[in-house]
Amino acid sequence: MNTREPERLTIPPDGRADAEQPHWRQDFPVDWPDDTYVSRRDFVKFLVLTSLAFTSGQFVVLVRNLLRQRATPPAQALARLDALPIGGSLVFSYPSPLDKRVLVRLDERTLVAYGQSCTHLSCPVIARPADGQLHCPCHEGAFDLATGRPIAGPPRRPLPLVTLDVRDGMIYATGVEERTV
Amino acid sequence: MRQARFSRGQRATIVSGILGVVLVIVIVQLWLLTATVNASLGGDTAIVLPAALASLVCLLLNAGLLWYLYALDR
């Protein structure tokens, strides 16, 4: 009994039915429609592997998030207020030695501090008080010095904000606020 | 190809349809991962668990469609 489909043109050289053909002949067909079928099926398989990779990435983010420290870091003395001139800046680490921050004195009463890593690709930003900006030299990114929000270049997220307190003439860092907008 | 319950033309249509659906789901997963990383780096951690579960559901859906595709040839 011939089990071949009527629109099929190519006949296997051994003349046996399709179901009896070796597996390699099914995976490397000669007819274009069969070839299209196999290649699309393999592309679906590739996409499902990509889907697995994305899901794994989601769970990596989840695990990293769970492992991240949640507690508010202790206050840290940075400098005496009178030692920082107006327009002056100070780079410091808070709360860990790897977390570089930059403190800028904008005027007599206003102090701001942000994470020093650009939110684009983590290059260190440079305070430019005269321009009212924090400048990232790697890709010409810029952040507003008053708010830490991006105003030019590739960065899209604002810099992390370091909350400050001034007590008895001493500047303290009291916490870090991550922000998305 | 083995004789299956669908003709060759029908199987070609089915694989094309499944390919389209899987492609859309993978693009949604890519967007979901990008948005989750952005939110997580920005300190918005509430979205991380629901996004991971949603991505897992997408993966299971894709795996189910792939399983169905291979079942067509059996």
What ipTM describes this predicted complex? 0.91
Structural domain includes residue A95: yes
Read off the pLDDT of residues A153-181 as tens digits, 9 standing for 90 and up: 999 889 999 999 999 999 999 988 887 77
Nearest to B48 among A29, A65, A179 (CB): A65
Residues 15-54 in B contacting A (C-alpha not used; CB under 8 Å): 15-16, 18-19, 22-23, 25-26, 29-30, 32-33, 36-45, 48-49, 51-52
- CB–CB of A55 and B39 under 8 A? no
Q: Which of chain A's residues have a Cβ under 8 Å away from the Cβ of B19?
A: 40, 43-44, 47
Q: Does A40 touch chain B (CB under 8 A)?
A: yes
> Rounded to a whole number, what is the distance in Å from the CA of A9 to chain B's nearest CA?
12
DSSP B60-74: HHHHHHHHHHHHTT-
Structural domain includes residue A100: yes
Q: Does B62 touch chain A (CB under 8 A)?
A: yes
Structural domain includes residue A6: no
Would you state the structure tokens that stand for residue A169, as one six-digit string?
A: 């003439």
State whether A30 and A94 are in the same domain: no
Q: Does A22 touch chain B (CB under 8 A)?
A: no
pLDDT of residue A16: 81
Read off the pLDDT of residues B15-26 as tens digits, 9 standing for 90 and up: 999 999 999 999
State whether A82 and A63 are in the same domain: no
Would you state the structure tokens that stand for residue A49, as one six-digit string?
A: 């592997």
- CB–CB of B66 and A48 under 8 A? yes
* Full-model pTM: 0.69
What are the residues whose beta carbons fall under 8 Å from the beta carbon of A158, sequence distance 6 or more?
A: A119, A143, A147, A148, A149, A150, A179, A180, A181
CATH code, A127: 2.102.10.10
Residues B7-21, mean pLDDT to the nearest whole number: 89
Structural domain includes residue A11: no
Nearest to A163, CA basis, from A155, A175, A154 = A175
- CB–CB of A178 and B9 under 8 A? no
In whole angstroms, give the CA distance from residue B33 to residue B23: 15
State whether A55 and A129 are in the same domain: no
Domain of A41 in residue numbering reads as 18-67
Contact (Cβ atoms closer than 8 angstroms) between residue A101 and residue A115: yes
Total domains in the fold of chain A: 2
Nearest to A180 among B19, B44, B62 (CB): B44
Read off the pLDDT of residues B33-62 as tens digits, 9 standing for 90 and up: 999 998 888 778 889 999 999 999 999 999
> Rounded to a whole number, what is the distance in Å from the CA of B68 to chain A's nearest CA?
11
State whether A98 and A161 are in the same domain: yes
